[in-house]
Chains A and B, each alone.
Chain A
Amino acid sequence: MRFSLNFVKELLPLDVSAQELASRLTMAGMEVEFLARAGKDWVFDVEVTTNRYDWLSVVGITREIAACLHKKANIKYPKVVKRPILKERKVIIEDLKDCPLYIGRQIEDLKVKNSPAWLRERVFHCGIATINNVVDITNYCMLKWGNPLHAFDADKLEGNIYIRRAKKGEIFIGIDERERKLCRENLVIADDKKVIALAGVMGAKNSEVSENTKNVFLEAAIFSPLTVRRSRRAAGIDTESSYRFERKVHPDYLEYASVESSRLMQELGGGRFTGYAEAGKKPIIKSKKLTVDLKRFADYLGEEISSTQIKKILTNLDFEILKSQKDKISVLPSRFRFDFEDEVDVYEEIVRIYGYDRIAPCIPFLVPRDESSFSVSEPGFLYRFKNELRTFMASLGLREIITYSIEADQELANLGQKDFILLLNPLRAQENAMRTSLLLGMIKSIRNNLNRNQKDLRFFEIANIYSHQKESFIEKPVLAIGLSGQANTLFCLKGLVEEIFKYLNIEGMDLRPEPQAHLSNALGIYINSEKAGLLGKLDEKTKKDFDLKQDLLFAQLQVGVLKEKRKEIAYRSYSLYPAVSRDISIALRRDKKFAKIRAAVERKAGEFLVDMRIVDEYRGKDISSDYHAFTLRVFYQSKDRTLTSSEVDALHTGIREDLHTQEGIILR
C-alpha cells in the first residue's frame, strides 16, 4: 500500500520526520519497503500483512501511526444520509453469499473535468493515475477508507442493477478494452441488457464515466473475498479493487466512503445527490470481549509490561478498556478490526507497539531428550544416518548433487518408471510427476556436465522417491550413485557399493544378475534375500536418447534397508604374521564366470586365504578372443604363525590342480 505523509496529515497533526516514522512503523509490523520525497510530500510504500485489511486505508494507517507515536487519532466520521430513495432503478442481489450488501448513490447534473491540484496530488502520490474529478474522487475515498468504489455513467444504464453470476460464455469488455469470455466463477454487475462490471474487479467499457457524463451512479458494496478471488483468477486479472475485496472491506467504511464521494462530487463537480439505493443487509460487526491475564501474558513474553502501559497502548489502538483489575484487564477491540479472536491476539497488539526489541533475549535450558523417547512415524530418524552416508560418500571421492523430485511424466515413463504420482495442478508440463527413481536426475546432471566438457564425473544423491501403492503411496529415501568417464568402470561402481557395505558392517551382500529397464549388465543388490538396490550401466539406446557423450554407470540403494541392516562394529583380531602372495596366469573362456575360479580358490586355500586380486590383464595374438586372460594374485596368511614357503606352495599347487581340471580354464 502506498500512501503519502500529507494525506495522513489531513487526519492527524504530525511533528516527526518521515525517516523516523518509517522506522517506527517497520518495527511495529508495517514494514516500510520504500520511502521517497515527492515535492513537499513524502511517499511511503508499506507491506500490508494479510490480517490487516485496515492498513489498506489512510484512516487505518493514521490510527496505527498515532499509536506508534503514543497518541490516539481522532478520526471524524461523516454523517450517513440515506434519503431520498432512488426511484428509477432497483438493485437486485442473486445470492447474498456473493454480495451481502450493495449500495448506490445517484449524483446528477455534474460536470466531469480535471480535479483540483490537491486532489490530483493525493491520488498521484498514492500511486494512482489521475483521470478526471469523478474517478479521482472515487480513488481518493478508496484510499482514505479502504474500500473500492465504482462510478457508472448513469445514462448508459438500462433498467435495474443485478448482482449475479455470469452466464457461461458471456462477454465482458473492461475499461482496459480487453475482451474476456466469462464463466460461472465470475460475479458480475449487470443491468437489464448487459454486463456493466466484473464485480469487485473492474468496470465495463460500456458504462465508463467520460467527459460527457452528466449523471453518475456510484457503487459501494461488499463482495465475498473468495468469490472475488476465484472470479479474478478465472478472468486472469488482478486489480487494486480485487486486492482490497479479497482482504475484506468494512461496512461502516463503505458507507463513509460512499457519502464522502457523493459530497465531493457535489462540491467539485457541481452535481446534486438525487437518490439512494440499497440491497442486502449491512453485516453487524461485533467485537468480541477479550481478557488479558497479566500473569499469563508475562509468562508468554518472559517480560513484564505494566498494566498502565498496556492500557495506554490499547486505548491508542482504539480498544475500549471494559474492566481493569489487579491481575487482568478486559477489553473490547476496535470496531474497525476483524483480527481479534483470542487473548493472544491482544498480546501481539500490545507487544508490537511496546517493541519486540525491548524484550531481552534469553537462551532457555532445554530438557535434553533422547531420540528414542520420541514416537515418530517411520522415516523420522533417518536424518543423521543420511548425513553420515553423505560424508562417507564424499570421502570416497564422490560429489553430492541435488536434483528435482518433480519431472515430466513422459520422461519418467520413457525410463520405464511406473506407478508414479501425478500433480493435479502442475505449473508446467515438464514438471508434473513425482519420480520413482533418482536415475533421471542423475542422467541430466551428468549430461549438463558432459556438455560443459567435464569428463570424469562421480556423483551421488540422497533423496526420496515416491510411488502409488494400492490405495496409498510410498515415500522413501534412496542413495543413488552415478559415474561417468574413462577411469570409472562397472568394477569401480561395484567396489563403491561393496565399500558402503563394508563401512556399514553389513554382512550377507549378494549381487544377482537381474534385468533392469534401461540398464545393461544389471545386478540386483541383496542383503541375504532382501532387496537393497541395483546397479548397472545405462544401455546404449537410452544413452543415445539422452544424447550422452559417455557411458553412465548407475546404482541405487535403499537408505532404510541399509540403516536397518547396519551392524555395530566389533573389533576382530588380525594376524601379525606376514601375508605371502603367489600369482596364477589364467585364460578364462568367456562363457564361464570368474565365480568358478573364486570358488576353487576359496575351497583350496581355506582359512589361509586373505585376498585375491587381478594384477594384470592380457590381450595378445596368442590368446583367442574367446578367452579372457589375466593374472590372479592370491594372498595367503595364517593367524598364528609365519607360513613356510613350502606350505604356501602346497596350497597354491592345490588351486592350480583344481583349476586345471575345469573346463574353460587354461592355466598359462
Chain B
Amino acid sequence: MEHEVKRLEEDLQKDIEKASDASDIEALRIKYLGRKSPLAELFSQIPSLSTEEKKIWGKNLNILKQKITTLIDEKLSGFEGKEEEIDLTFPSRPVERGSRHVISVVLQKICDIFAHLGFVVIEGPEIEDEWHNFTALNFPSDHPSRDAFDTFYLDLKEGKKGKQLLRCHTSPSQIRVMQKNKPPFAVISPGRVYRPDEVDATHSFMFHQVEGFAVGQDSNFAHLKGVLFYFARQFFSPDVSLRFRPHFFPFTEPSAEVDISCIICGQGKNKKKTTRCSVCKGKGWLEVLGCGMIHPNVLEACGIDSKKYQGFAFGMGIERMAMLKYGVSDIRLFCENDVKFLEQFNL
C-alpha cells in the first residue's frame, strides 16, 4: 500500500506539471479524486485491513486526499488569473435581425400614446362611400374635395350612400364608430388614405393618417389641448412647445392647426430668431396636425344628440410625423423598401 501511495504521488506530480490549462486540471481532479481513481481504490481496501491498520491508513489516506486536493487547487488558481487573451480588434460577426417598417412603428407609437389616455384603437375600411367620406362630415355637396381631381372613385356599384371611393382621410372611421355606439367614447383610428396627388418629395397618392376623437357630455376644447400637449411631449420631446392656430375644416368648429416648436432650431419656443433653418424655413414652428371641436352637424348625422353631447377630434399624417421625428427628407423612401433604409428603424 505504501508503495502504491508513493507511485500515486509521483504520477500526480508529473501530471500536474504537464497540465497546461484549467480543463487539464479538471481532468486530473477526476482522475485522482473521482469514483474510479486509485485513491478510491485504496480507500476500498480499508475494510479488509486489521483494526490497527484501518486507523493508520484511514488517517493517511485522508491526509493524502487533502494533499491531492490542495495541489490541484493550487495549480488551478495559478491558471485562473491568466485567461486566454483574445484580439477583439478583429471585426464582429454580423448579427441578422428583422425590423418593423418605420411607418408602422411611428403609427404604433402614436396609437400607444393615446391608448395610455384611454383611447381605444378601431380601424375603418379604406373603400368608403361618399356619405361617410364627405356628407356626414359636413362637406357641402359642391365641395371641391368631392371632385374627381381630389378623390379616387372606384368602379363599384353606387349605393344608397353614394359613389364608392378610396377614403381621402381617416375621418370616415370616426363616423362609423359614432353611428353604431353610444357616447362617451374616445377612439383612435389609423390607416391608409389616398389622394390623386402628383408624387414628389412630400406628396404621394397613398399615405397614412391617424384620426382621434372623443365624445362625451363634457369633452371640451381645453381637453383637446390637454390631450395634444400630452401627445406632442410624449412623441417629440418633453420640452416641445405647441401653438394652436385657428383654421377651417368642414367637420370641426372651432377648428385649429397645431404647430410644434421646430425640433431642429427650437426658434418658436425661444422667440428669438437667429438662424435660417431649412426644416421650418425660419418660422420656428412646424405644422403637425389639424383638430377642433366636432361640428354639431357631424354628431347629428351619426344620430348623436348635439344638445347633450360634444366632442373633439384631431388628425395627423404619419409620414409627416415620421419625417419630422427621424429627419427623413423624401416621402418616396417609405415605399421603396431599400434594406439600407429599412434597417435603420426599430420599435
Tell whether A405 pairs with B192 under 8 Å between CB atoms, given A50-B248, A300-B310, A383-B121.
yes
Alpha-carbon separation in the docked complex, A468 to B246 (Å): 42
Residues of B within 8 A of A13 (CB): none
Residues of chain A contacted by B96 (CB below 8 angstroms): 397
Are B222 and A473 in contact, CB atoms less than 8 angstroms apart? no
- Check A405 against B206 for contact (C-beta < 8 Å): yes
5 closest A-B pairs by CB: A302-B222, A29-B246, A366-B118, A348-B254, A49-B248
Contacts of B246 in A (CB 8 A): 27-29, 348, 351-352, 356
Instruction: Mark contacts of A287-303 with chain B using CB atoms, 8 A cut-off: 1 yes-contact digit, 0 otherwise.
Output: 00000000000011111
User: A357 to B220, alpha carbons, bound, how many Å?
Assistant: 15
Q: Is B269 an interface residue (CB 8 A)?
A: no
Shortest Cβ distance from residue A503 to the other chain B in the assembled complex, whole angstroms: 14
With A376-B180, A395-B98, A396-B98 in contact, do A401 and B226 touch (Cβ < 8 Å)? no
- Within 489-540 of A, Cβ neighbours of B (below 8 Å) are at none
Whether a CB of chain B sits under 8 angstroms from the CB of A36 is: no
When distances are taken between beta carbons in the complex, the residues of chain B under 8 Å from A342 are 253, 295-297
Distance (whole angstroms) from the CB of B332 to the closest CB of chain A: 11
How many chain A residues touch B (CB < 8 A): the figure is: 92
Q: With the chains together, A51 CA to B246 CA distance in Å?
A: 12
CB <8 Å contact, A363 and B337? no
CB distance from A142 to the nearest CB of B (A): 22
Q: Does B315 sit at the interface, judged by CB under 8 A?
A: no
Contact B229 A402 (CB under 8 A): no
Complex Cα distance, B164 from A342, in Å, reads 30
Contact (Cβ within 8 A) B181 A27: no
CB of A406 within 8 A of CB of B206, answer yes
Interface readout for A98-137 with B: 1 if CB under 8 Å, 0 if not?
0000000000000000000000000000000000000000
Q: Does B31 contact A (CB under 8 A)?
A: no
Chain B residues within CB distance 8 Å of chain A? 96-101, 103-104, 108, 111, 117-127, 142, 144, 147-149, 152-157, 164, 166, 176-177, 180-181, 184-187, 190, 192, 194, 196-198, 205-206, 214, 216, 218-223, 225-230, 243-248, 253-257, 293, 295-297, 310, 334-340, 342-343, 346-347
A401 and B101 in contact (CB under 8 A), knowing A368-B118, A466-B127?
A: yes
- Alpha-carbon separation in the docked complex, A463 to B222 (Å): 36
- Is the pair B142, A475 in contact by a Cβ cutoff of 8 Å? no
Q: Would B223 and A302 count as touching, CB distance under 8 A?
A: yes
Q: Which of A16-32 touch B at CB < 8 Å?
A: 26-29, 31
Q: Is A644 an interface residue (CB 8 A)?
A: no
Closest CB in chain A relative to B153 CB, distance in Å: 4
Query: A399 to B196, Cβ gap below 8 A?
Result: no
* Chain B interface main SS type: mixed
Closest to A463 in B: B192
Contact (Cβ within 8 A) B148 A427: no
Evaluate contact between A379 and B125: CB separation under 8 angstroms: yes
Contact of A452 among B196, B338, B343 (CB under 8 A): B338
Stretch in A166-174, A178-186, A454-462, A547-555 touching the partner: A454-462
Q: With the chains together, A345 CA to B296 CA distance in Å?
A: 10
Contacts of B253 in A (CB 8 A): 342, 344-345, 347-348
Decide: A352 and B126 in contact? CB cutoff 8 A.
no
Q: A383-B121, A396-B98 are known contacts. Are A471 and B127 too (CB-CB below 8 A)? A: no
Q: Compute how far the CA of A423 lies from the CA of B148 in the bound complex, rounded to whole angstroms.
A: 10
A111 to B297, CA, bound (A): 55
| CB-based contact B339/A454 at 8 Å | yes
Q: Which of A28, A380, A383, A448 contacts B337 (CB 8 A)?
A: A448
User: Is A434 interfacial (CB-CB < 8 Å)?
Assistant: yes
A515 CB → nearest B CB, Å? 29
A377 to B225: give the CA distance in the assembly, Å: 30
Q: What 1/0 mask marks residues of chain A from 249 to 266 whose CB sits below 8 Å from any chain B CB? A: 000000000000000000
Residue A387 lies at the interface, judged by CB distance under 8 Å to chain B: yes
Q: B123, A380: Cβ atoms under 8 Å?
A: yes
B97 (CB) vs chain A CBs: closest residue: A397
Whether A362 lies near B125 (C-beta < 8 A) is no
Which of B186, B256, B334, B337 makes the CB contact (< 8 A) with A459?
Answer: B337
Q: Which residues of B contact A364 (CB under 8 A)?
A: 117, 214, 219, 223, 226-227
Q: Does A384 interact with chain B (Cβ within 8 Å)? A: yes
Chain A 374-400 against B: per-residue CB contact (8 Å), 1 yes, 0 no?
111101111110010011011111111
CB B184 to nearest CB in A, in angstroms, measures 5
**Cβ B310 vs Cβ A398 within 8 A:** no
B104 to chain A, nearest CB (A): 6
Partner of A226, one of B126, B142, B245: B142
* Partner among A344, A404, A422 whose Cβ is within 8 Å of the Cβ of B293: A344
| B192 proximity list for chain A (CB < 8 A) | 405, 463-464
What CA separation (Å) do A391 and B109 show in the bound complex?
13
Q: Tell me the chain A residues, 272-297 only, with Cβ under 8 Å from chain B.
A: none
Complex A-B: 12 CB contacts under 8 Å: A344-B293, A356-B245, A364-B226, A366-B119, A374-B185, A374-B187, A376-B122, A379-B125, A383-B123, A394-B100, A399-B98, A400-B99
A396 and chain B: residue at smallest CB distance: B98
Least Cβ distance of B115 to chain A in Å? 10
- Cα separation A472 to B164 with both chains bound (whole Å): 10
B219: A residues at CB distance < 8 A = 364
The interface bits of chain A over 325-340 (1 if a CB of B lies within 8 angstroms of the residue's CB, else 0) are 0000000000000000
- Point out the residues of chain B lying under 8 angstroms from A351, CB to CB: 221, 246, 254
Would you call B122 and A380 a contact (CB within 8 A)?
Answer: yes
Interface residues of A (CB under 8 A from B): 26-29, 31, 49-52, 225-226, 229, 233, 246, 299-303, 342, 344-345, 347-348, 351-352, 356-357, 359-369, 371, 374-377, 379-384, 387, 390-391, 393-406, 421-427, 431, 434, 445, 448-449, 452, 454, 457-459, 463-464, 466, 468, 471-473, 475
Indicate whether A361 sits within 8 Å of B121 (C-beta atoms), given known contacts A31-B245, A347-B254, A398-B98.
Answer: no
Select from chain A the residue with minimum beta-carbon distance to B334.
A402
**Which residues of chain B are near A381, meaning CB under 8 Å?**
122-123
- Residues on A with C-beta less than 8 A from B214 are 364, 366
Contact indicator B176/A362 (Cβ below 8 Å): no
Residues of B contacting A448 in the complex (Cβ-Cβ under 8 angstroms): 336-338
Q: How far is the CA of A405 from the CA of B230 in the complex (A)?
A: 33
The smallest beta-carbon distance between A105 and chain B, in angstroms, is: 31
Q: How far is the CA of A394 from the CA of B144 in the complex (A)?
A: 42
**Contacting residues, chain A, for B221 (C-beta < 8 A):** 300-303, 351, 359
Contact A399 B142 (CB under 8 A): no
Closest B residue to A298 by CB, please name it: B220
Known A374-B185, A391-B347, A423-B154; contact A404-B335, beta-carbon cutoff 8 A: yes
With the chains together, A395 CA to B293 CA distance in Å?
Answer: 41
Other 9 A-B pairs with CB < 8 A, given A377-B125, A402-B335: A301-B220, A356-B245, A380-B122, A383-B111, A383-B122, A421-B154, A427-B205, A475-B125, A475-B126
Contacts A301-B222, A399-B343, A402-B101 given; indicate if A422 touches B230 (C-beta within 8 A): no
A468 neighbours in B (Cβ, 8 Å): 156
CB atoms of A366 and B186 under 8 A apart: yes
Question: A366 and B124 in contact (CB under 8 A), knowing A342-B296, A391-B347?
Answer: no
Bound Cα distance from A371 to B187, whole angstroms: 10
User: Smallest CB-CB separation from A457: which chain B residue?
Assistant: B339
Given the known interface contacts A299-B218, A391-B347, A395-B98, the answer about A402 and B245 at a Cβ–Cβ threshold of 8 Å is no
Min distance, Cβ B250 to any Cβ of chain A, angstroms:
9
Does A302 lie within 8 Å of B220, measured CB to CB? yes
With beta carbons under 8 angstroms apart, the residue of A352, A357, A380, A458 that contacts B243 is A357
Q: In whole angstroms, how far apart are the Cα atoms of A312 and B253 in the complex?
A: 21
Assuming the A-B contacts A363-B227, A402-B103, are A473 and B206 also in contact, with contact meaning beta carbons closer than 8 angstroms in the complex?
no
Are A374 and B120 within 8 A (Cβ)? yes
Task: Among B101, B220, B337, B342, find the residue whose CB has the most chain A CB atoms closer than 10 A.
Answer: B337
Q: Which residues of A contact B340 (CB under 8 A)?
A: 452, 454
> Is the beta-carbon distance between A421 and B127 smaller than 8 angstroms?
yes
CA distance A299 to B248 in the complex (A): 21
CB of A352 within 8 A of CB of B254, answer: yes
CA distance A362 to B219 in the complex (A): 11
Contacting pair B347 A374 (CB below 8 A):
no
